[in-house]
Amino acid sequence: MRVNHSGEVAAQALYQGQALTAGDTAVSAAMRRAAAEETDHLAWCESRLRELEGRTSLLNPLWYAGSFAIGALAGVLGRGANLGFVAETERQVEAHLRGHLERLGDADRRSRAILEQMTHDEMQHGAQAMTMGGRELPFPVRAAMRLTAKALTEGSYWL
């Protein structure tokens, strides 16, 4: 759950950075709405972590700062790239959450309910981004995003 919490810290930062630099008011508003949903996800993960007597990652400030910068860059690149970045991010997050759900099994119903709702919300964010004009990102960008996500996952797991 700590990894999911860190992912939500990063998601908030991405959306806030994208909203700040998006040149399109509709895109900026959509980013702010998605960031608000990510705030809910963050609260759910943090609450569940406390219930499990866990802690948040020590690296969260780093994840926030880096993700904000990446989001701001995506916003500057224009509507198609900005929204495409959202769609790809959410695809990768959905895959991560589904993998976590598979490993979790049915015993932890509380965590399962949180992750299932998050998966649903992330899928909606990605679909909305494509509907609003997102375009597919080049393979090297998608691969770099996967490597960055792996660093966040591994770092948050241990620290």
Which pLDDT value is given to residue 35?
86
Give the whole-angstrom CA distance, residue 159 versus residue 156.
5
Q: Give the residue among 3, 16, 35 at the shortest CA–CA distance from 125.
A: 35
pLDDT for residue 57: 96
Its pTM stands at 0.91
CATH topology (fold) of 2-158: Ferritin (1.20.1260)
**Inter-residue contact 52 to 3 (CB < 8 Å):** no
- Average pLDDT of adjacent 10-residue blocks, the chain of 159 residues: 93 92 90 87 94 95 95 93 93 93 88 94 92 94 93 93
pLDDT of the residue at 83: 94
| Site of tokens 């999911």 | 4
Six-digit token string for 118: 């998050």
**3-state SS assignment for residue 132:** coil
As given in the structure block, the two tokens for residue 54 are: 């866990």
Q: What is the pLDDT of residue 107?
A: 82
Sign, CA dihedral 16-18-21-27, equals negative
